[in-house]
Chains A and B, each alone.
Chain A
């Protein structure tokens, strides 16, 4: 397992630590974006932590995930280092993508993370492809494609699920239903009651679980993973969740009212998991605070590192296009700016 099997106390504490780390990362990213330090735009995972962590808790370290535009939580859940993630958000040379990806494209293929993705619905075909490699080479792995509720309307999602189910590939499709596809509520975008109902079209299991409950998500994904490894094909797991922040930072959220947000905040996945662990005698309030402080410190260190890390050289814009370089780009590279990008 990924080092935090929810069947053990240590694993449950680790899951809580990762949820806290995600929360701290995204709160910091939101603040630094508002301050204008982080370029571009960011989509925060706050409120949805149980889905990414519950899913990755059910995976082995070498399983694959393909993420979405809201990918920070998936990265941390999969075990990526927040330091190089934050450096990537800052566009720094030793960010995960050497500054070429940013928030929406963080990837670490060697760690099984096939990339956040700026195209809604692009993750499932990627997961089907990874599952195809696994199946073709008889490897004991699975591939998870995360998608949002909005992506369920995308044709390529259904094509990916159809291919994976027709070929019995070891894939799992995790729908993070956070109730809004960008600014439009889920019931205005889909005709089914549960998004997992779409599984019927592919004759595969589809299950809807409480996405604010890390254990419920992990149980569903564990079952899906067993099925995938048994060679009988993919499963759709829909996790009902909620994003506490806007679609993107700066979103005025005219499409929902404060009361609705408050109602969901009362179901905060971190608070409820913490309380459950305390009730079971596996955690004390002091230990929780210590975990929280550690998570915040990890992110403070990551932030400090990212702020101080060197920028990429302008000439690096010409690197990494191809494994086998082409003369066209080599010629353009000879005219690279040498003064930090200003001309």
Chain B
């Protein structure tokens, strides 16, 4: 098990955990540096990079022009030529501006070149509705990346996994996208402090054991599903899994749980059609079909964009109540 050093922990927020992970990797490897909009003196628009520029300087915490195609493209070229850039895309919605560089260069170079280059680039970005930021700053787009061959995608739901996955992404020689959720930056958790701690890409975590129904959740919905599981504990035993890694996906952990519970809810904030939910449901069906006692339930955004007005936003952004309804339907 690569999760060395889990003994020593500290309570901190998701934001602090990510920053600690970034700091440790910047300390560990001089070839690692960050690029993004307002990540230096401003400390990041959602304050994730914070004061890293004071510690590491402007050469390593690089403010870029507002130019996603330019700096994502440059990060791709840099990763192919011996350095290990960590890019921040301010909001995941802005990935569209750089999609050509992501899909045709970053994702394909290694394969197209017959394996003759590495692509050690990390892309961090923030997703999700809930703060009235409207459609162009609230999207959840990680299914695009998880779907696209040649890219790896992780979407942590706890402070510990946010730190461990950020570190694993930076150490990986493959392009890894870390999808943070902007509503859980203040969420607290126990975080291992050993600098060798990482969360291996491709491993889910059983955050709470249960026997009646499995909830496979991501990002903010992990915490909300754990709250639901607490609320229901007198009547229903809910197992909550943080998928953590979307591609590769830890099929074994999910299947093992479904074989035990016979019921599955998939909770992920991305739009419901043609996405993460369908993939997880399919894997459960392929590998645990005869263990299933009820139809698999999906909790996600109902195929709309995220609207501005708070009552409209509350309508479409999925939450714990939706998870609870889904459990009620089958358990």
The reply to whether A101 and B248 contact each other, CB–CB distance below 8 Å, is: no
Given known A-B contacts A323-B173, A324-B173, A129 and B74 have beta carbons under 8 A apart: yes
B residues 36-72 touching A (CB-CB < 8 Å): 59, 64-65, 67, 69-72
Contact between B174 and A130, CB atoms less than 8 A apart: no
- The interface residues of chain A lying within 8 Å CB-to-CB of B113 are 96-97, 100-101, 105, 107, 109, 115, 320
For B209-246 the 0/1 string (1 means CB < 8 A from A) is 00000000000000000000000000000000000000
Q: Mark B158-182, 1 if CB is under 8 A from A, else 0.
A: 0000000000000011100000000
| Residue contact A99 to B114, C-beta cutoff 8 Å | yes
* Residues of A contacting B251 in the complex (Cβ-Cβ under 8 angstroms): 327
- CB < 8 Å: which of B73, B78, B105, B114 contacts A136? B78
Q: In the complex, what residues of A have CB within 8 A of residue B70's CB?
A: 125, 128, 156, 159-160, 162-163
B75 A324 Cβ-Cβ under 8 A: no
Instruction: Flag if A101 contacts B71 (CB, 8 Å).
Output: no
Please state if B59 and A109 are interface contacts (CB–CB under 8 Å).
no
Question: Which residue from chain B places its CB closest to the CB of A319 in the assembled complex?
Answer: B115
The distance in angstroms between the C-alpha atoms of A320 and B111, with both chains bound, is 5
Q: Does A289 contact B (CB under 8 A)?
A: no
A326 contacts chain B at the CB level, 8 A cutoff: yes
Of all chain A residues, the one with the shortest Cβ separation from B150 is A321
In the complex, A258 has a CB within 8 A of chain B: no
A71 CB, nearest partner CB in chain B, Å: 12
B126 at interface, CB cutoff 8 A: no
Instruction: Verify A97–B77 contact, CB threshold 8 A.
Output: no
Interface residues in A103-128 by Cβ distance below 8 A to B read: 105, 107-110, 114-115, 117-119, 122, 124-128
- Name the segment of B12-20, B79-87, B130-138, B297-305 touching the other chain: B79-87
Contact with B along A317-342 (1 / 0, CB 8 A): 00111111011100000000000000
- With known contacts A108-B116, A323-B174, A129–B110 Cβ distance under 8 A: no
Distance in angstroms between the alpha carbons of A108 and B116 in the assembled complex: 7
Check B248 against A97 for contact (C-beta < 8 Å): no
Closest to A160 in B: B70
In the assembled complex, A191 has its CB within 8 A of some CB on chain B: no
Query: Closest A-chain residue to B75, C-beta based?
Result: A129
Inside 8 A of B65's CB, which chain A residues have their CB?
A: 159, 162-163, 166
Q: A321-B111, A321-B150 are in contact. Are A159 and B67 (CB under 8 A)?
A: yes
Across the two chains, which residue of chain B brings its CB closest to A101?
Answer: B112
Q: Does B145 contact A (CB under 8 A)?
A: no
B170 to chain A, nearest CB (A): 13
| B67, B76, B81, B105: most-surrounded residue (chain A CB, <10 A) | B81
A125 near B76: Cβ-Cβ < 8 Å: yes
B277 within 8 Å of A (CB atoms):
no
Q: Is the CB of B109 closer than 8 A to any CB of chain A?
A: yes
Q: Show 20 A/B contacts (Cβ-Cβ < 8 Å), sorted by A.
A: A66-B77, A96-B113, A97-B113, A107-B116, A122-B73, A122-B100, A122-B101, A125-B74, A126-B80, A129-B78, A130-B78, A133-B82, A137-B31, A143-B77, A162-B65, A163-B64, A163-B70, A166-B65, A320-B114, A326-B202
Q: What 4 pairs across the A-B complex have the smallest Cβ distances? A: A129-B77, A125-B73, A159-B70, A320-B115
Seen from chain A, the residues whose Cβ lies within 8 Å of a Cβ on chain B are: 64, 66, 95-101, 105, 107-110, 114-115, 117-119, 122, 124-134, 136-137, 143, 155-156, 159-160, 162-163, 166, 319-324, 326-328
**Assuming A156-B101, A159-B73, what are 17 further A-B pairs, CB within 8 angstroms?**
A105-B112, A119-B100, A122-B73, A122-B104, A125-B77, A127-B77, A129-B78, A130-B81, A132-B78, A133-B78, A156-B100, A159-B65, A162-B67, A320-B111, A323-B119, A324-B201, A326-B247
